[in-house]
Copies of this chain bind each other. A is one copy, B any other.
């Protein structure tokens, strides 16, 4: 028979998966001999079983709970439900990972109309007894029975005003009795039954409520955002009550062993005398800082500092602790590794190494890579943002803070920026035509589109602040204004501010602070670089991006998207001439005009990367993306192109596709128009020859996108090789170059053995690969995903988090069979997932050569790659 319930004395900190974080740490502290109230943990497996059994607690588990309860009764000499000497408990959830959003705590469980009397007599403190009972009724009603909290608060307020009390502590025992009476009446009105008097029933209902709360909406959202599987479940901790509300020698508090904001090594926290835990949070009375405890109760303070120090040394990390003082006696209710800001995380980790407490490797493992993002972008000054007025909330699509004047078109934004204005580009949604406007803007705000919309992806690539999908705003681009939900109007030229880390939009300008990469940051990055085996490249299309990425530690470009170069105003016209050309000759004439500009692009990139490898992807998007949509724009372009508007409209209609994602794009363009690939090859090779004549040693990597069959790769490769070899021969130089392919179509992954015969490298384009493997278009997924989250079908957006099960399987097949054909094939990833720590771990496990991500994710990737290498070494050590 399985065991589902564990005494604290049976567990330890290693049993986190089974007991949850809280339970495991309570067990560990118990084992360390610290003053922990006795109790036991109902395991996460019991939670899983609860869901398997159709949301019921089996008789077997219920029996085990009460058997264990009985054991603790024996230990402490009190009995659950005993009127004379009652054993009261707290019920608290605790999953593997700390999870706000779930049911947290019920205190004083076990009280009923009889027991409260006994408690009153036992303690000689009627006020305390009824205070505890009313708290219990309110908490139980709220979290177990979902009765609105304010109903109880209203009653409490009425009693307070009837006796002229200001604070809860002003109420005497009689008033508390009245509060209890009223609370029970509320319960009865709401539930049509009396408040449950059987402590055993109370306990089982509370346990169920904890289990249920694992799947409440907030918990699901939190898990999705933090990659926590729904299958983990939560544990429940049942613990003997100790009371911080037994008078002036009692109290409760929380403290960190170091400052969680700055990392400073100094006890940090606050406490409240004569109170239970929720009073500290409620904020009615102002808690005192932990230093004051030294004055109030010097012995307790001394004992606490010793324990805090012991716990930090024991866990080798900053601790976040909860404690209660019951009539002068200290009890530890919780300890855990404390949450901290990015800056604090770095400082704590580096300090702990310097203090000799941990190794560099342990320090690397302690910093959450994704946290680093916050350090890399400007933020609003906290004092300034406090007084700012938020007008809407969208998706936090790309971090950073920006203020500027509103403009509604890329052209207007560009003109304003040339005047020296700070610009926020506001669009319903962006398209590749907006690149120039996005480039000059301080920040981007869109009304539609998710975390992986065009605006979001491009902004992240640029390291630029972006709030996307802000549907609360009605954006009238044409009319030059937008409206907030409360009816305020913002015109072109008005100032607004965006926080891309929270998704908040503010009116007016807000002062911001630039990112500063502290010494701790540099130290940590250096340590990470020593450890990791994966190379980190960047996705960069411009010299600016490339330089930023190198500054942030990029070791090469994994993806240069050449099409973004075509949207530059000085070349879009030539490119459009190419598209409308009816013959190969006319197409070549137009391409000739683009060639020198594109060559200069590559010269710039090669120089910026200073001999680091650069992978350049040939033209990828469907041609219709380069043509205008509105009748006015079409008329304008037609006259520029010297053709009729009808003819241009017809051409645009001809290029229309039902499913452009699976249409005429990628290498299919090069198959149709080899002259485009020729021109691009020429630009790349000539640029490489030019910079290499200046003492550089560039080996360009030419990448063919959207391959589904080795024969199309072969065809395009032959165009590239023929062109390149001729240029190299004519120049009379030696130049090495590589030709490889994206693996972004399922069939390419499935036939990677054949494809590797022709490709010198694979770069996994996991954006498209995910879309096609799921049959789910990123552009259309929004509504579907919301439903899927609410039905608990998806736990995260597969286009944002790499799906290791399905897409990962394809990647594994492709890596293995690619290497089987060509043992030295270079493997990398360049999709959006390339900067995601979980994906990086996976790529490490597949023995990839590199991951490539947007410039601002490079430090995250460096750290994640180091962590993956360490975890790998640990694992192999264990074997």
A positions within 8 Å CB-CB of B? 657-664, 668, 671-672, 706, 708-709, 711-712, 715, 744-747, 750-751, 754, 768, 771-777, 779-780, 783-784, 787-788, 791-794, 803, 805-807, 809-810
Contact = CB atoms under 8 A, between A and B. Distances in A.
A708 B807 CA distance: 11
Given A659-B660, A672-B787, 7 more contacts: A658-B780, A659-B659, A662-B777, A709-B794, A745-B775, A750-B773, A751-B806
B780 A747 contact: no
A745 to B, nearest CB: 4
Contacts of A712: 788, 793
Contacts of A787: 668, 671-672
A742 to B, nearest CB: 11
Contacts of A659: 659-662, 777, 779-780
A746 B806 contact: yes
20 contacts: A661-B662, A662-B772, A662-B775, A663-B777, A664-B783, A664-B784, A671-B787, A671-B788, A671-B791, A708-B774, A708-B775, A711-B793, A711-B794, A712-B788, A712-B793, A715-B793, A746-B773, A746-B775, A746-B806, A750-B773
Contacts of A751: 805-806, 809
B662 A660 contact: no
Contacts of A709: 793-794, 806
A751 B750 CA distance: 15
Given A662-B659, A793-B671, A747 B774 contact: yes
A793 B788 CA distance: 39
Contact of A779 (B658, B668, B807, B809): B658
Contacts of A780: 657-660, 662-664
Contacts of A662: 659, 661-662, 771-772, 774-777, 780
Given A659-B779, A774-B708, A780-B664, A746 B810 contact: yes
Residue in A658, A745, A746 with the greatest tally of chain B CB atoms within 10 Å: A746
A708 to B, nearest CB: 5
Contact of A774 (B745, B777, B807): B745
A777 B657 contact: yes
4 residue pairs, one from A and one from B, having the closest CB atoms? A747-B806, A659-B777, A662-B777, A658-B779
Nearest to A230: B711
Contacts of A747: 773-775, 803, 806-807
A792 B711 CA distance: 8
Contact of A768 (B668, B775, B776): B775
A768 B709 CA distance: 18
A765 to B, nearest CB: 11
A229 to B, nearest CB: 12
Given A706-B775, A780-B663, A750 B658 contact: no
Contact of A746 (B672, B708, B746): B746
Contacts of A657: 777, 779-780
Nearest to A668: B784
A434 to B, nearest CB: 17
Nearest to A787: B672
Nearest to A744: B775
Nearest to A709: B793
Contacts of A791: 671, 715
A449 to B, nearest CB: 11
Given A662-B777, A777-B662, A784-B664, A750 B671 contact: no
B772 A810 contact: no
A662 B662 CA distance: 10
Contacts of A660: 658-659, 780
Residue in A660, A662, A663, A708 with the greatest tally of chain B CB atoms within 10 Å: A662
Nearest to A776: B662
Contacts of A807: 747
A710 to B, nearest CB: 9
Contacts of A793: 671, 709, 711-712, 715
Contacts of A671: 784, 787-788, 791, 793
A379 B235 CA distance: 74
Contacts of A706: 775
Contacts of A658: 660-661, 777, 779-780
Given A658-B661, A659-B779, A777-B659, A772 B784 contact: no
Nearest to A714: B793
Contacts of A745: 773-775
A772 B807 CA distance: 13
A793 B745 CA distance: 16
Residue in A776, A783, A805 with the greatest tally of chain B CB atoms within 10 Å: A776
B773 A775 contact: no
Contacts of A664: 780, 783-784
Given A661-B659, A777-B657, A772 B792 contact: no
Nearest to A775: B745
Contacts of A663: 776-777, 780, 784
A783 to B, nearest CB: 7
A771 B773 CA distance: 11
B777 A775 contact: no
Nearest to A663: B780
Contacts of A774: 662, 708, 745-747
Nearest to A673: B787
A783 B807 CA distance: 29
A224 to B, nearest CB: 14
B809 A776 contact: no
Contacts of A777: 657-659, 661-663
A485 to B, nearest CB: 19
Contacts of A744: 775
A672 to B, nearest CB: 5
A807 B773 CA distance: 12
Contacts of A803: 747
Residue in A745, A750, A768, A779 with the greatest tally of chain B CB atoms within 10 Å: A750
Contacts of A746: 746, 772-775, 806, 810
A475 to B, nearest CB: 16
A711 B805 CA distance: 13
Contacts of A784: 663-664, 668, 671-672
Contacts of A668: 784, 787
A448 to B, nearest CB: 11
Residue in A745, A747, A791 with the greatest tally of chain B CB atoms within 10 Å: A747
